[in-house]
């Protein structure tokens, strides 16, 4: 089977002067891989007619070209007239696109401007592809056997359109080699130690499978993927290899699929009909933030008290002022008091708490920057542990959040067993 050649063009001066990092290319690469396709190259160019024409011409050897960006309502967007030049067509009013823009403005309760009306002008030769996320239209055109799909560059619009509208069309038009991947989520072990532990298994993998280590804030995602004409054999081999892997490192695995640890905890609590709440000092609301990104999280999440100011730990959570005075804010006694306090306050089954020094200031000899106490309270009592998550503030916050969820997960599992 011939490989489908897919190229990506990202249009935008902001990408070339470093104002915005192009994350669309990587996202498209990942989602094309998941569908069994392969992104051949990704080119970023500026908002100029000549650059766009050169780039489109340079992609005529591809089967499919995914173009992102350059479709906003403002004057710096010159993509559509250039597209008309390249495809030898002209702009025409598209009723379907217009209706979509009107509907969007109605939903948001805004007045439409002349400029937005202009966004319904599309190249005559194009097939219009609906965008329910914004006013920029998505377009599908062909030239000498090469398909060009144009999408807006705003990531959440591009992602929505690609998944809902474009990918089904691409799958219908092009045939992909069967592809499959498995993701195993680990936490509590660094990348190089993990690599040492699974070295023999990795070296014995069949050559059509490949393993990637994707480290991320206190976690390592292991992705095992492969493409093979025999889809059944591919599937069975992945089952077998993932099974072997899970027996090698059971204590570090929190999920056998690509999901965050807060999602894993959410699922566990949903299954059991249990709830949790958090009391956050150094994590500053991030434990709440990540779980509330999950639709339906109100079923398992009662609420949070971010007690950044020390007296609030007493007033809101009921940690005795004397305890804080005696042991300090960053201490086992305080984190346990916070965990128990928020569990009571929010009437939840589990209470999780953090207190620590996110930095860059505030460190001491006893509690250097990066020190974090994490506690989890349940009907069984309270457990707590001290960590050091390094010097970078954002990293400390994120690693503490992941670790708090891992400790919560352990307590949920134990509480079921008891």
The minimum distance between CB 323 and a second copy, in angstroms, equals 18
**Nearer Cβ to a second copy (86/276):** 276
**Nearer Cβ to a second copy (218/375):** 218
Class of residue 61 by CB neighbours under 10 A (exposed 0-12, middle 13-18, buried 19+)? exposed
Establish if 17 lies at the interface with a second copy (CB under 8 A).
Answer: yes
The minimum distance between CB 9 and a second copy, in angstroms, equals 10
Establish if 146 lies at the interface with a second copy (CB under 8 A).
Answer: no
167/158 Cα distance (integer angstroms): 12
Strands 179-187 and 219-227: antiparallel
**Nearer Cβ to a second copy (145/295):** 295
310/324 Cα distance (integer angstroms): 8
Establish if 135 lies at the interface with a second copy (CB under 8 A).
Answer: yes
**Nearer Cβ to a second copy (142/394):** 394
Binding to a second copy (CB under 8 A) within 197-256 occurs at: 199, 202, 210-215, 221, 223, 225
The token pair at 48 is 């100029």
Q: Which of 28, 224, 234, 335 is in the footprint of a second copy by CB under 8 A?
A: 28
Strands 350-356 and 371-378: antiparallel
Adjacent-strand bridge partners of 92: 122
The minimum distance between CB 101 and a second copy, in angstroms, equals 11
The token pair at 382 is 């309270």
**Nearer Cβ to a second copy (124/209):** 209
Establish if 395 lies at the interface with a second copy (CB under 8 A).
Answer: yes
Q: Which of 3, 142, 156, 206 is in the footprint of a second copy by CB under 8 A?
A: 156
**Nearer Cβ to a second copy (118/381):** 118
Class of residue 261 by CB neighbours under 10 A (exposed 0-12, middle 13-18, buried 19+)? buried
Taking a C-beta distance cutoff of 8 angstroms, is the pair 123, 137 a contact?
A: no
The token pair at 101 is 């823009």
**Nearer Cβ to a second copy (213/327):** 213
The minimum distance between CB 135 and a second copy, in angstroms, equals 8
364/362 Cα distance (integer angstroms): 7
Place of tokens 């804080």: 324
Establish if 356 lies at the interface with a second copy (CB under 8 A).
Answer: no
Q: Which of 36, 53, 73, 363 is in the footprint of a second copy by CB under 8 A?
A: 73
Backbone phi and psi for residue 155, each to the nearest 5 degrees, phi listed first: -50, -45
Establish if 344 lies at the interface with a second copy (CB under 8 A).
Answer: no
**Nearer Cβ to a second copy (127/133):** 133
The minimum distance between CB 352 and a second copy, in angstroms, equals 13
Establish if 40 lies at the interface with a second copy (CB under 8 A).
Answer: yes
The minimum distance between CB 99 and a second copy, in angstroms, equals 17
Reference 399, options 220, 268, 198, 214; nearest CA is 220
Number of residues binding to a second copy, judged by CB under 8 A: 114
216/259 Cα distance (integer angstroms): 13
Establish if 335 lies at the interface with a second copy (CB under 8 A).
Answer: no
Establish if 178 lies at the interface with a second copy (CB under 8 A).
Answer: no
Backbone phi and psi for residue 166, each to the nearest 5 degrees, phi listed first: -80, -50
Stretch of 106-114, 122-130, 230-238, 374-382 contacting a second copy, by CB under 8 A:
106-114
Taking a C-beta distance cutoff of 8 angstroms, is the pair 7, 41 a contact?
A: yes
Reference 126, options 90, 161, 101, 177; nearest CA is 90
**Nearer Cβ to a second copy (14/89):** 14
Cα atoms found within 13 Å of the Cα of residue 156, Cβ hemisphere only:
4
**Nearer Cβ to a second copy (187/307):** 307
Binding to a second copy (CB under 8 A) within 262-301 occurs at: 275, 280, 283-289, 291-293, 295-298, 301
Q: Which of 49, 99, 196, 229 is in the footprint of a second copy by CB under 8 A?
A: 196
DSSP symbols for 18-34: TSS---HHHHHHHHHHH
């Amino acid at each position: 089977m011939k490989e489908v050649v897919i190229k990506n063009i990202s249009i935008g001066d902001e990408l070339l002067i470093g104002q915005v990092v192009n994350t669309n290319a990587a996202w498209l690469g990942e989602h094309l891989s998941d569908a069994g396709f392969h992104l051949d190259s990704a080119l970023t160019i500026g908002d100029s007619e000549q650059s766009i024409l050169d780039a489109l011409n340079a992609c005529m050897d591809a089967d499919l070209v995914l173009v992102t960006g350059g479709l906003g309502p403002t004057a710096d967007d010159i993509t559509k007239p250039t597209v008309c030049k390249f495809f030898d067509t002209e702009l025409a009013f598209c009723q379907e696109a217009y209706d979509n823009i009107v509907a969007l403005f109605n939903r948001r309760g805004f007045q439409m401007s002349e400029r937005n009306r202009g966004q319904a002008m599309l190249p005559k030769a194009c097939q219009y592809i609906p965008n329910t996320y914004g006013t920029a239209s998505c377009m599908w055109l062909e030239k000498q056997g090469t398909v060009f799909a144009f999408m807006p560059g705003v990531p959440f619009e591009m992602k929505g359109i690609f998944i809902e509208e474009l990918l089904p069309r691409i799958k219908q038009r092009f045939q992909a080699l069967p592809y499959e991947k498995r993701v195993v989520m680990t936490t509590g072990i660094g990348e190089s130690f993990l690599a040492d532990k699974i070295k023999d298994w990795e070296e014995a993998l069949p050559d059509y499978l490949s393993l990637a280590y994707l480290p991320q804030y206190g976690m390592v995602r292991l992705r095992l993927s492969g493409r093979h004409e025999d889809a059944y054999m591919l599937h069975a081999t992945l089952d077998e290899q993932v099974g072997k892997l899970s027996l090698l490192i059971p204590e570090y695995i929190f999920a056998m699929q690509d999901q965050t640890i807060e999602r894993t905890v959410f699922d566990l609590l949903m299954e059991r009909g249990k709830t949790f709440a958090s009391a956050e000092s150094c994590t500053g609301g991030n434990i709440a933030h990540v779980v509330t990104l999950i639709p339906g999280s109100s079923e398992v999440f009662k609420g949070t008290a971010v007690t950044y100011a020390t007296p609030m730990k007493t007033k809101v959570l009921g940690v005795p002022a004397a305890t804080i005075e005696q042991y300090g804010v960053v201490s086992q006694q305080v984190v346990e008091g916070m965990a128990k306090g928020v569990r009571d306050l929010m009437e939840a089954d589990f209470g999780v708490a953090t207190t620590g020094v996110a930095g860059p200031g505030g460190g001491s000899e006893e509690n250097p920057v990066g020190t974090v106490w994490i506690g989890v309270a349940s009907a069984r009592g309270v457990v707590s542990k001290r960590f050091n998550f390094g010097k970078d503030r954002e990293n400390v916050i994120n690693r503490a959040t992941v670790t708090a969820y891992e400790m919560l997960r352990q307590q949920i599992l134990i509480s079921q067993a008891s």
